[in-house]
Amino acid sequence: MKIDELAAAYGQMVQIRLLEERISTLYADGAIPGFVHTSPDPEACAVGALVHARGSDVITSTRRGRGHVAAKGMEPRRLLAEVIGKQAGACHGRGGPCTWPTPASGASVLGCRSPSALRTPFAVGTAVTWWCAFSAAAPSRPAPSTSPSTSQPFGGCPSE
C-alpha cells in the first residue's frame, strides 16, 4: 500500500475508535435504548479486511459490526443516529446498535448477525442465492424432473 492509502486507513481506524468511545459514553449515560455490545478494539480488523473492497461488494458481519459498517462507507452521523434509535439513522432507527438490515442503508452490508451459529449459513445462503440470481456463470436451472448437475458448484441452482 502507498503511504497515502495507509494514512487514510489509519484515519478510518481512528474515526471508528472515536465512534465506539462515543457510543460507550452514550450507553453509560442511558441515551441508547436496550443493550450495546461495544467493540473498541477490532477497528483495525474491519478496516484491514475492507480497505480494498469495492463499493459494490456486499458483506455480512457480527453483532459488533459497526466498525465494518463504518469501514464499508456509512456516514458516522447516520450510524450513530441508528444506534441511538433516531429517524435520521441508516435504517430509520429500527436496526438499533446490533443489526444493520441493509444494503438499503447505503453501506452494502447485508445485516450483522447474532448468534454466531447463524453467520455462516446466512452468508453462504446469500452468496448462493445471489450467484444463482445474478451471475452469468450460474448454471441454468434444471427442469423439475431433472437432478441438479453435480459438475456445477453447489450442485447447480435449485429448481423452482
pLDDT tens figures, 77-124: 988 998 888 888 877 887 776 666 555 555 567 766 666 677 778 778
Question: Are the beta carbons of 97 and 37 closer than 8 angstroms?
Answer: yes
Instruction: Establish if 18 belongs to a structural domain.
Output: yes
Better-predicted residue by pLDDT, 89 or 16? 16
Instruction: Establish if 81 belongs to a structural domain.
Output: yes
**Within 10 A of 68 (CB to CB), how many other CB atoms are there?**
27
pTM of the predicted model as reported, rounded to 2 decimal places: 0.71
Instruction: Establish if 30 belongs to a structural domain.
Output: yes
Pairwise CA distance, residues 68 & 139, whole Å? 32
Domain containing 116 — which CATH number?
3.40.50.970
Question: Could you list the residue range(s) of the whole structural domain that residue 52 is in?
Answer: 3-140
Domain count, the chain: 1
pLDDT score, position 101? 54
Average pLDDT over residues 57-75: 82
The answer to whether residue 61 scores a pLDDT higher than 80 is no
